[in-house]
Structure 1
Amino acid sequence: MKNMKFKYIVTMATSITLLLVSCEKDLLDTKLDTERTPETIATSSSALFGFAGAFYTPLRDGFTEIDNNVFATVSDEAQNNLPTNDALFYNQGLISETINPESFIYKSYYEGIRAANFFLDYAQDADTYILIGKDPVADASVITNDRQNVAWFKAEAHIAKAFYYSELIKRYGGVPIVNQTLDKSGKINIPRSTYNQVVEYIVKEIDDNKANLQVNWKTSAFSGNDGRFTLGAALAIKARVLLYAASPLNNPTNDVEKWKRAAAACNELITTPGLNLALNQFYGSYFRGTAPLTSAETIFAIRRPANNTIEKENYPIATPGGKGAISPSDNLVAAYEYSGTPNPTDPYANRDSRLANTVAYNGSTWNNRVMDFSVGGTDDMSKANGSKTGYYLKKFLNDNLNLVQNATAQHNWVVFRYAELLLNYAEAMNEAYGPDNNNGYGKTARQAVNEVRARSAMPIINIATTNTKDGFRLAVKHERRIELAFEGHRYWDLLRWKDAEIVLNQPIIGVKVTKVSSNPNVWTYQKAAVATRKFNANANYLYPFTRTEIVNSNGTLVQNPGY
């Protein structure tokens, strides 16, 4: 199976996963029916590699995280413009054990864990299946190749489990650890592990299996497998998990050893030979088309067939085919620093270049026209479903896509990238050692942040205001907000920092645009609250388990506080 194409594996995996799920009871009712028999499961090399692909199926891209759009509307990054939307349940603190737009993730990710465990059990007889129908001499190279692929897939199965658990504990805190697929009774009881126990499980899964992973598919003889987990992806999962574990939500006593451990994990990833990580030359174009698949900035990306969903959802309503579903907030826009002298008549001039690559604002040119949000303008905010804030999302969107003719473009969701890693490193290093102590590693926290800023031609961060841990912490939070905008980090950052109870109880701000001259175009801007937000600090830092999961657990699953 030389240079097996990953897209083939995933396609096959979809049907395999459905087979697995259809033969099971509810995934986590703590009664896992894990019996398999020769009558129900095929024994062949094709089945073997099909099961290998199955544990990738639950991976989700962030383009359709909520309301068929990015997750930004649950945070202070954006407001949903449509009259009914699921983000409202977050915005008004209404998440409960019976209402949670993401409740399906719990079962979906445990399906991925189940598929990984199933493959690991099935692959115990891998050599038998590989040899079926093959001549040991004539097919020696094929057999060798298949054995290597199985070895990689075994390691990847462990990394898949680590990834799914990392996403589960981010949402729920401690969860049950399911680490077996066979039981003579066909049923096992699963007590809920603590958050820290799951963290240690994740780290062990990665450390025990990282040596058996492909370092970098792109530069290997098996580049067709790019898209499967690599050593880089595994270390990125570990680094992010340990960063979250060291953060105030999960480290209330601020144990500095947890920060040191997170910093070491980030440094391990930065310095691992063969990963060849580097920032993409350009910020804006990195997120479009096939750029994430070829850029050295990408550590792991989820590939999707060409489509136009994010353009349909987010092109301005004045653009044929566009729904303008979400509006970036002025809360976010105002956070972009000036890169030069402020212009009193144009609040968007001389700003951090990442703003123009992320947000379409009044007076900017996009899709071959000038955006005009004023009354009577092309993007008049008073139009039905018009922007509520005076902004539209631009990041990720391909320019000039003809939606009327249903034109499509490539979109690839970046799960881990080098810029995030640098900011993870900077945060952990600052908390562990301060902003300017490299602890013998290759760079200080300050150098890591400045490396990210330099790509967008932003000056180094102010030394006078960032020479303490507290001052530098604010700089890191700011840089994450700007660099990682709309990539699905903001909500979880606010939670892990325990800033959500302040930030997510503040109103969403927009701008009212008034045109005072047409030749040349001159506008004035007035800020105003456009939506209220509510965050319940007694409950909303964790998701609730659904009522169904609680009932089915027969007392082994305890509900999170506040629900």
Structure 2
Amino acid sequence: MKKLQLLILNCLIIVLSSCDSFLDIVPDDIATIDNAFTMRAQAEKYLFTCYYYLPAHGLLEANPAIAGGDELYITESFRSAAHVHAWYISHNMQSSARPRCDYWTGADQQNNKSLYQGISDCNIFLENIQKVPDMTQAEKDRWAAEVRFLKAYYHYWLIRMYGPIPIMDQNIPVNAGEEEVKVFRNTIDECFDYVINTLTEIIDSNHLPDKIMNEAEELGRITQGIAMAIRAEVMVTAASPLFNGNADYKGYTDSRGIEIFNPNKSEQDKKQRWIDAAEACKQAIEFLKAQGHDLYKYTSLEYTISDQTRAKMNIRNIVTEKWNQEIIWANSNSIIGQLQDHAIPRGLEPGKEGNASVGGNLAVPLKITDLFYTKNGVPITEDKTWNYDDRLELRKATSDDKYFIKEGYTTANINFDREVRYYASLGFDGAVWFGQGVTDETKPIYVQCKQGQSAANQISNSWNETGIWPKKLVHFKSVVGQTSGFTKITYPFPVMRLGNLYLLYAEALNESGASKTDVLTWVDLIRERAGLEGVEESWDTYTNNKKYETVDGRREIIQQERGIELAFEAQRFWDLRRWKLAYQEQNKPITGWNTQYSTNEDYYTEQLIYAQEFRIRNYFWPILDKELYSNKNLVQNYGW
């Protein structure tokens, strides 16, 4: 892994410049390209140039899915200090004059990476790799398969953002005429089929390793299992309502009169997308299980801990324990340090308030905490034993609560009798925070964030608007220093894990007409790890409905399960879009606790922080105006 990171960072290969448009990239230094493939060592540098363009999935300034939706809220002050361009997206301030997090051109996101430039470099690599003399054919084939995967993935990333895009399977020739450069956007079906077919060809070639054997140098590189899992995700995305016969874009044509969103589809055609996606998920799961992947469970005996804390660790460590058996693909060029800085309260431990190494700026809105189930495994609005109307009333924790909430501490009812993922994922006033140098459960660290307490908001650059932190992102062995320093156990950001794939499979099965039992089997495996009964048992015992009996009801359950299980893993942002639910969910207000007060009665009042607005046009990014001026064959996305 270290070699992979260093080669990406230190690679001296020239990144080829473009003309006025990022789509008319042509090689402008043939001699340099030829030299890059004269020896294996030089070709390897070019290989890692292709990896260099991978979006930094775990960086606030690079991944719009972290802070660009409704899952985490940051202040304008922190946005400015940390250059978080996704803030503009979450605040409906996107524009075609300056698209934020613009991976088409590379502007306003980390390292200014244009994915079209990355695709161009991938094409150059594929055109030349067979020329390298001091490599075996097997190694050439493996490297070529890796780069083909990267090229397909970069197309996929752009498709999720912009919808139909111009496919760039080959670079435009050096002697291309002006009209050849002015490409059209392919239809959305052509785009997805290109990515899916490319990934299928890679998988069928068997040129990728089943797993990484040289872990010291190669962790993070593409394997057969990664290719299969990402193909499954792509196919589920292609089958989802935003992309699969979306009638909202009926009549939206380019200058050729082609409806580029393919809005006219039969119900059977749309269903077939789901059937194919389910099969891809099944194949990926079977292959990955055979390679030793499984749902993570914390089995370490390093500490003597309660069953309740061990259950929390089953959840907390899924993300933070690097390369555990559940991780299918983690981005080794996106190491999580910054997110930990701002997912932990400044002043978590009394006496350490002056340590400015911790920001604590990532705030979880109350509507996200509401997603988590009660301890009975059903929504808080449906559990007939849980009083939703009294959720803001005050209650003192007893010894029965001590592994979740500090015994004797008064907090709101909403924090009591919730599922274990609530306590593993969230840090709130009164919440026990296991680790950070303290593993004695009789003397727990706990959050104290009302005014006058150690973790209260005091400084503008360390300001949590809601009073709730995404604890799940902080490794339990990361330790804040007394007056300075934050010793972090870093980890690569998980792009795909088995729990995600299980829920994608359940979703595809449900939409393709599979039986209730087949669908819920995969949901229940996730719930079992969280200490919950199966869907049927939980709903039958604790609610007055049987929504699991219908496709619509199961869809709602699966969507909520994804929101809980994958919280803060940069999934909800894309999920809400592909389900066409962003307009519904991101027009709800962002609220939190009244953090400027010191008494329980004042603090535990829900306050409006931001009236979020999402318009239909926000489902897709605008294309930079300059691109449209350079190429009249491109058509702008709706509403921009």
Q: Give TM class, smaller chain.
A: 0.7 to 0.9
Which residue of structure 1 aligns with residue 280 of structure 2? 265
Post-superposition shift, 1:171? 0.3
Letter in 1 for 2:343: N
Query: Cα RMSD (Å) of the superposition?
Result: 2.7
Which residue of structure 2 aligns with residue 117 of structure 1? 123
Of the candidates 420, 428, 446, which is equivalent to residue 361 of structure 1?
428
Q: Is the CA contact 1:35–1:182 (under 8 Å) kept in the aligned structure 2?
A: no
Q: Is the CA contact 1:247–1:496 (under 8 Å) kept in the aligned structure 2?
A: yes
Matched, 1:473 2:489: no
Could you say what secondary structure the match of 1:113 adopts?
helix
Q: Is the CA contact 2:63–2:101 (under 8 Å) kept in the aligned structure 1?
A: no
Matched, 1:402 2:480: yes
Which residue of structure 2 aligns with residue 227 of structure 1? 220
Q: 1:149 & 1:511 partners in 2: Cα distance?
A: 56
Q: Deviation digits for residues 226-252 of structure 1, max 9, x if unmatched?
A: 311111111122111111111111123
Which residue of structure 2 aligns with residue 505 of structure 1? 587
**Structure 1 residues 307 and 201: CA distance shift in structure 2, 3 A:** closer
Post-superposition shift, 1:35? 5.1
Q: 1:9 & 1:390 partners in 2: Cα distance?
A: 39
Which residue of structure 1 aligns with residue 470 of structure 2? 393
Which residue of structure 2 aligns with residue 65 of structure 1? 60
Q: 1:264 & 1:27 partners in 2: Cα distance?
A: 43
Q: 1:201 & 1:69 partners in 2: Cα distance?
A: 24
Which residue of structure 2 aligns with residue 483 of structure 1? 565
Aligned-residue sequence identity (percent) comes to: 23
Q: Is the CA contact 1:34–1:186 (under 8 Å) kept in the aligned structure 2?
A: no
Of the candidates 529, 543, 546, which is equivalent to residue 608 of structure 2?
529
Matched, 1:415 2:502: no
Of the candidates 622, 630, 636, which is equivalent to residue 544 of structure 1?
622
Which residue of structure 1 aligns with residue 109 of structure 2? none
TM-score by length of 2: 0.76
Q: Is the CA contact 1:465–1:472 (under 8 Å) kept in the aligned structure 2?
A: yes
**Structure 1 residues 391 and 32: CA distance shift in structure 2, 3 A:** same
Q: 2:119 & 2:20 partners in 1: Cα distance?
A: 10
Matched, 1:208 2:288: no
Could you say what secondary structure the match of 1:324 adopts?
coil
Q: Relative to structure 2, which stretch is displaced further, 167-176 or 461-470? A: 461-470
Unaligned runs of 5+ in 1: 1-5, 131-142, 438-443
Q: 1:509 & 1:364 partners in 2: Cα distance?
A: 19
Unaligned runs of 5+ in 2: 80-84, 107-113, 247-264, 298-313, 348-352, 377-384, 396-412, 439-444, 541-545
Which residue of structure 2 aligns with residue 97 of structure 1? 96
Could you say what secondary structure the match of 1:192 adopts?
coil
Q: Is the CA contact 1:363–1:372 (under 8 Å) kept in the aligned structure 2?
A: yes
Post-superposition shift, 1:100? 2.7
Post-superposition shift, 1:120? 0.7
Letter in 1 for 2:361: A
Q: 1:511 & 1:434 partners in 2: Cα distance?
A: 43
Letter in 1 for 2:45: G
Q: 2:414 & 2:529 partners in 1: Cα distance?
A: 23
Of the candidates 295, 318, 333, which is equivalent to residue 286 of structure 1?
318
**Structure 1 residues 59 and 382: CA distance shift in structure 2, 3 A:** same
TM-score by length of 1: 0.86
Counterparts of 1:201-350 in structure 2, within 5 Å, are: 201-210=194-203, 211-218=205-212, 220=213, 224-251=217-244, 252=246, 255-272=270-287, 274-281=290-297, 282-288=314-320, 291-293=321-323, 295-304=324-333, 308-318=337-347, 319=353, 320=355, 321-340=357-376, 345=395, 346-350=413-417
Q: 1:530 & 1:502 partners in 2: Cα distance?
A: 18
Q: 1:76 & 1:241 partners in 2: Cα distance?
A: 23
Q: Deviation digits for residues 381-440 of structure 1, max 9, x if unmatched?
A: 466453211212212213442362353432211111100101101111101114526xxx
Q: Relative to structure 2, which stretch is displaced further, 540-549 or 73-82? A: 73-82
- In terms of fraction of residues, the more strand-rich structure is 1
Matched, 1:492 2:491: no
Q: Relative to structure 2, which stretch is displaced further, 28-37 or 406-415? A: 28-37
Letter in 2 for 1:174: P
Number of residue pairs aligned between Structure 1 and Structure 2: 523
Q: 1:34 & 1:206 partners in 2: Cα distance?
A: 26
Matched, 1:426 2:426: no
Post-superposition shift, 1:116? 1.4
Matched, 1:560 2:589: no
Post-superposition shift, 1:179? 1.5
Q: 1:526 & 1:112 partners in 2: Cα distance?
A: 49
**Structure 1 residues 333 and 9: CA distance shift in structure 2, 3 A:** closer
